[in-house]
Amino acid sequence: MQTPTFEESAKAYLSDTQLRRNIGHATHTIRDKRQTVVDEMPDWEVLREAGSSLKNRIMRHLDEYLLQLEESVRQAGGQVHWARDAGEANRIIVDLVKEQQVEEVVKVKSITTDEIKLNRALAEEGVRALETDLAELIVQLAGDEPSHILVPAIHKNRAEIRELFRKKLNQGELSDRPEDLAEAARLYLRKKFLSAKVGISGANFAVADTGTVAVVESEGNGRMCTTLPETLITVMGIEKLIPTWRDFEVFMQLLPRSSTAERMNPYNSFWTGVTEGDGPQEFHLVLLDNGRTNVLADEVGRQTLNCIRCSACLNVCPVYERTGGHAYHSVYPGPIGAILTPQLRGLEDEGAASLPYASTLCGACYEVCPVKINIPDVLVHLRGKIVDRKKRAGGLNAKSDPEYIGMRLMARAFKSRSRYERAQKMARVGQKFFVKDGTISKLPGELSGWTAMRDLKPIPNQTFREWWGDRDE
């Protein structure tokens, strides 16, 4: 499959003024709030270090921890299913749902289910998957795609949501006050919660030694979905493990402050298998690979799996802030998406392979990441893999690629002093065609991107080394 490249898509989104305003405003607000609640923690850096070490340990022994989790969940009365890819996961879930003979299921917000396109797979079998997170519901009603991993409707403002609810929820009179909008959704959803027989969720964490699964959220819809239905199906990427219950100590401090800028999430739901007479009586845990073991196999890329999906990196990213999430053509946008998507999807996909270049390497993401994923390092590592692939493909493709030609010529020049000095002189002579009134305002080919909006100063008549040589004499 080929998705469009980031640079192509970004153009359109950059000129969407409403989107620019909505996302710019939202990311700045949450960015500042996060900073405030992080600054009140004297041991924040130690916590980050702990989070990163724990996750690194899990990735080193993932095979063992996964088997331990499977055993723990079974012991507690749950059932575990292994899914190699999206197709397998969907088949497992569709079968489980059909066994219950229902036409509708309620869902807790889960990016993993978006990743495997579960709702579509269910719809094809005549089952309607109802999103119960307010923002996910908005996106679903609008027939849109999420654009942020925590705030899927971040690209929409109140006026747009009011219009949508008026149309889709048959609300005649409705103000655009947040309380009224939430109330309209609440009334609509309440009925559904009470009648649903099957709930589907993702997972923030699963504890290997107890089999406990955890979902943290703000609205309470997750609590409803995981407690009211008779059957609960949880889909989880295989990297979401933590070794012991005690490790929540670290992650329950890191996650809420980094994601919603709260000291604690309003709703923290934990369940361990099934409990007789209390909550769902059937629990299925679907463990999803879908490319994750490939990520694990790459020593530099592996840290990508440490991600706890807090979205702090999106909120500080100067690129995401301006293009929004849809330009990334993935359920994982922003900096984490730029490293995760190409690794999950593979570099053959041109769109995915354009993502590691959708960054200035400014490092803002690395600075805030609660589990210290060195995103710039992984971005550059992936760029290296992309170029290596291009070289291996060889042939005309590589030979006619202007960037490749330029890079090779420059690498050659930099290898010897005399060639380098000759290249400096040639550039000085060559630029004569483009200098006008002491400025370069128009360049051809690949470089026209620069001069489309920026001038360039001509190369001065004397290089530094020439000056140094004259001075020495």
Output 146 or 370, the one with its CB closest to ligand SF4.
370
Residue 176, both tokens: 């655009």
Window 374-403: residues binding other proteins (CB under 8 A): 377, 380, 383-388, 403
Q: Is position 352 an interface residue for ligand SF4 (rule: CB under 6 A)? A: no
Q: Is position 312 an interface residue for ligand SF4 (rule: CB under 6 A)? A: yes
- The mark string for 333-372 relative to other proteins (x by CB under 8 A, - otherwise) is ------------------------xxxxxxxx-xx-----
Q: Is 369 exposed, middle or buried (0-12, 13-18, 19+ CB in 10 A)?
A: buried
Minimum CB–partner distance for residue 37 and other proteins (Å): 19
The stretch among 7-15, 47-55, 156-164, 247-255 that binds other proteins (CB under 8 A) is 7-15
Q: Is position 185 an interface residue for ligand SF4 (rule: CB under 6 A)? A: no
DSSP secondary structure string, 80-94? EEEESSHHHHHHHHH
Of 6, 193, 283, 332, the one binding other proteins by CB under 8 A: 6
Q: Is position 308 an interface residue for ligand SF4 (rule: CB under 6 A)? A: yes
Output 183 or 388, the one with its CB closest to other proteins.
388
The stretch among 32-40, 344-352, 369-377, 388-396 that binds ligand SF4 (CB under 6 A) is 369-377
Of 248, 322, 349, 434, the one binding other proteins by CB under 8 A: 322
Minimum CB–partner distance for residue 32 and other proteins (Å): 11
**SS3 of 34, please?**
helix
Residue 378, both tokens: 């992984």
Q: Is position 446 an interface residue for other proteins (rule: CB under 8 A)? A: yes
> Under a CB-based contact definition with an 8 Å cutoff, are residues 239 and 284 in contact?
no
> Under a CB-based contact definition with an 8 Å cutoff, are residues 231 and 199 in contact?
yes
Q: Is position 457 an interface residue for other proteins (rule: CB under 8 A)? A: yes
Q: Is position 371 an interface residue for ligand SF4 (rule: CB under 6 A)? A: yes
Report what 159 binds from ligand SF4, other proteins, none; CB cut-off 5-8 Å by kind.
none
Q: How far apart are CA 458 and CA 257, in angstroms?
A: 48
Taking CA atoms, 266 is separated from 11, 119, 246, 262, in Å, by 38, 27, 20, 9
Window 122-161: residues binding ligand SF4 (CB under 6 A): none
- The mark string for 235-274 relative to ligand SF4 (x by CB under 6 A, - otherwise) is -----------------------x----------------
Taking CA atoms, 276 is separated from 76, 163, 210, 389, in Å, by 11, 44, 18, 55
Nearest to 165 by CA among 147, 148, 153, 151: 153
Q: How far apart are CA 209 and CA 73, in angstroms?
A: 9
Amino acid of residue 170? N
Report what 311 binds from other proteins, ligand SF4, none; CB cut-off 5-8 Å by kind.
ligand SF4
Q: Is 144 exposed, middle or buried (0-12, 13-18, 19+ CB in 10 A)?
A: middle
Report what 454 binds from ligand SF4, other proteins, none; CB cut-off 5-8 Å by kind.
other proteins
The stretch among 35-43, 64-72, 222-230, 307-315 that binds ligand SF4 (CB under 6 A) is 307-315
Window 426-445: residues binding other proteins (CB under 8 A): 427, 439, 441
State the CB neighbour count (10 A cutoff) for residue 471.
7
Residue 47, both tokens: 């916590």
For 46-77, the three-class secondary structure string (H helix, E strand, C coil) is HHHHHHHHHHHHHHHCHHHHHHHHHHHHHHCC
Q: Using alpha carbons only, give the angle 81, 300, 297 rounded to the nearest 5 degrees.
A: 35
DSSP secondary structure string, 391-433? HHH-HHHHHT-HHHHHHHHHHHHHT-HHHHHHHHHHHHHHGGG
Beta bridge partners of 283: 232
Of 10, 58, 232, 307, the one binding ligand SF4 by CB under 6 A: 307
Of 47, 184, 242, 310, the one binding ligand SF4 by CB under 6 A: 310
Window 321-350: residues binding ligand SF4 (CB under 6 A): 336
For the chain, what percentages of helix, strand and coil (3-state, to nearest 5) are there? 55, 10, 30
Residue 194, both tokens: 């009470």
Of 211, 325, 351, 370, the one binding ligand SF4 by CB under 6 A: 370
Output 6 or 366, the one with its CB closest to ligand SF4.
366
Chain positions contacting ligand SF4, by CB under 6 A = 258, 307-313, 336, 368-371, 373
Chain positions contacting other proteins, by CB under 8 A = 6-7, 10-11, 14, 318-319, 322-323, 357-364, 366-367, 377, 380, 383-388, 403, 407-408, 410-411, 413-417, 420, 424, 427, 439, 441, 446-447, 449-450, 452-457, 459-460, 462-469
